[in-house]
Chain A
Amino acid sequence: MDSHAILGEIPRLRRYARAMLGDRAAADDLVQDTLERAWTRFAQWRVGSDLRAWLFGIMHNLRVDQLRRPALATAPLDDYEEQWATRPTQSDQLEVMDLASALSQLPEEQRAVVLLVALEDMSYAEVADALGIPVGTVMSRLARGRERLRLIMAGQLSVNHLRVVR
C-alpha cells in the first residue's frame, strides 16, 4: 500500500461518497476519515489484494458506524414488505423527480448496492465483499433499489419514511 496508489483511488471514493451522501462537504469528510482509517490499518492489507475494494469496504464500515450512532437500531420498512406496493393507478399524473432527490430517498442499503454497481462497475461478488454481505443479499437489494428508484422517478411511489424498530 503506498500513497501514490491511494491517491489514485481518491477520485472514485469521492464520487461514490458524493452519490451516497449527496453533500459535497460531508462526502469529502467521509473520504478523509476513510483514508485516515486505512493508514491505521495498513497492516491488515495484503500486498497484491485489491486496494480499491479494501478502501470501499473501510468507507462502508465507517458509514455504517455513522448511521449506528442513533441509539435505536432501525431497518427500512421496505425490508419487511413481502410484496411491492401495487401501482397506484389513480395517480397517473406523473410527477417526475430529479435523480438526486430520488436517490436520497432510497434506503441506504439499497443505495449503496445500486451505486457500487452503476458507478464502480463492480461485479456482484466484489460488491458483496466490499459491503460484507452475501451475494444473494446484493442481488435482492439491487433489484429492490432499482425498482424503487424507477418508481420514485416516475412519481409512482410515495416514499415511505417509516422505519421498523428492530
Chain B
Amino acid sequence: MSHLPINETDLQAWVDAALPEARRAEVEVYLAGHPEDFERVQAYQAQKKALRAMFNPVLDEPLPDSLRAAAAPPVTTAAARWSSRLAGWPAWRLAAGLLLALLGGATGWLARGQYPGGDELARVVPLYRQAAVAHAVFSPDVRRPVEVGAEQEAQLVAWLSKRLGTAVKPPKLGELGFELIGGRLLPGNSGPVAQFMYQDVAGQRLTLYVTTENPGNQETGFRFAQEGPVNVFYWIDGKFGYALSGSIGKGELGRLATLVYDQLERK
C-alpha cells in the first residue's frame, strides 16, 4: 500500500468513483478523520446528482427537425464543393463533348465526318484524366470511399487481381504518412481498372489508379498533369498504366509517386 498524502485530485476522483480500489480505501480512511472534507465531497456528489436530474430530461426531448436534418451530410458542403470545382473542369467539358459526339453519331451521319464515334473518342481519354475524375468522384465520399476496406486487404488484392487478370498489389506508403484505406473496381476504357485509396492523419486522400489496358507495351517516365484541383503523376510500364492523384503539392506527390514506382519495380 502506498502512503502518498491525500490531495485534492484524490478527493475529486473519489467523488467520480475514478480511484483504484486501494487508493479509494485510503481516501476513505482519510475522510473518516476529516469531517469537513467529507462534508465537502458529499456536497459535490449531491451537486453531480442534481445536475443530472436537472439536465437529463433534455435527452428525452423530441429533436427539432433542424437538428435532425443537420445529422445528415449537407449537400452544401462536400458534394457541392466538389461539383462546383468540377464545374470549371476540362473533364466535364470533355464529358459534354463526348455526349455531343454520341448524340451526333446516333442522330445523323453528318456528324461522322466531323467527330470520331463515341467508342473511339472514349479510347482517347488519357490515363491521367480518367484517374483524376475517379479521384474527384470517390475521394470526397464520406461513407463509401472504397468498396473493400484495408482491413480486408488480402481479399481486396485477390479480387482486384482476378478481375484485372493480373497480379496487382497496393504499395505501402506509410513511410510518407499515407495508409491504405481500401480499393475499388472501376470501368476503364475497355475493361476493369483498379483504384486504391490512401489517407494521411490529416484526412487527405490519395488514389492510385491502375489499368492493364495499355496496348502499346511502351514505357514512359513520370509525367505530371493537373486537372482542376487534382494533381496527377502518371506513367506507363508495359501493359500497366499507373496514375497517382491527390489534391496535394506537386513536390510531395512526386515523392509519393517515386515510392510507388520503386515498390512496383521490385515486385
Contact = CB atoms under 8 A, between A and B. Distances in A.
A43 to B, nearest CB: 3
Interface stretch (A2-10, A57-65, A70-78): A2-10
A57 to B, nearest CB: 15
A16 to B, nearest CB: 8
B1 interface: no
A149 interface: yes
Contacts of B63: 7, 10-11, 14
A99 B50 contact: yes
A28 interface: yes
Interface in A114-133: 114-115, 117-119, 123-124
Contacts, number: 109
A139 B71 contact: no
A10 B56 contact: no
Nearest to A43: B203
B58 A115 contact: no
Given A7-B68, A11-B59, A150 B203 contact: no
Interface in B41-59: 43-44, 47-48, 50-52, 54-56, 58-59
Across the A-B interface, the 10 shortest Cβ-Cβ residue pairs: A43-B203, A35-B70, A15-B58, A7-B71, A3-B72, A118-B51, A11-B59, A118-B48, A6-B71, A44-B203
A112 interface: no
B142 A15 contact: no
B143 interface: yes
Contacts of A45: 203
B67 A32 contact: yes
B47 A14 contact: no
A40 to B, nearest CB: 5
Contact of B8 (A1, A2, A40, A139): A139
A27 B33 CA distance: 43
Contacts of A12: 59
Contact of B78 (A18, A28, A39, A150): A39
Interface in B2-44: 8-9, 11-13, 15-16, 18, 40, 43-44
Interface of A: 1-3, 6-7, 10-12, 14-15, 18-19, 28, 31-32, 35-36, 39-47, 99-100, 103, 114-115, 117-119, 123-124, 139, 142-143, 146-147, 149-150, 153
Contacts of A103: 51
Contacts of A46: 201, 203
8 contacts: A3-B71, A7-B68, A41-B203, A43-B203, A99-B51, A99-B54, A139-B9, A149-B47
A44 B203 CA distance: 5
A9 B263 CA distance: 43
Contact of A153 (B47, B54, B72, B201): B47
B66 A28 contact: yes
Contact of A142 (B12, B61, B72): B12
Contact of B58 (A6, A14, A42, A149): A14
A100 B143 CA distance: 40
Contacts of B142: 1-2, 42
B126 interface: no
B85 to A, nearest CB: 15
B202 interface: yes
Interface string B195-211: 00000011111000000
Given A45-B203, A118-B47, A150-B47, A10 B9 contact: no
B43 A150 contact: yes
A146 B48 CA distance: 9
A44 B9 CA distance: 33
Contacts of B78: 39-40, 42
Given A11-B59, A119-B55, A43 B205 contact: yes
A117 to B, nearest CB: 6
Interface string B171-205: 00000000001000000000000000000011111
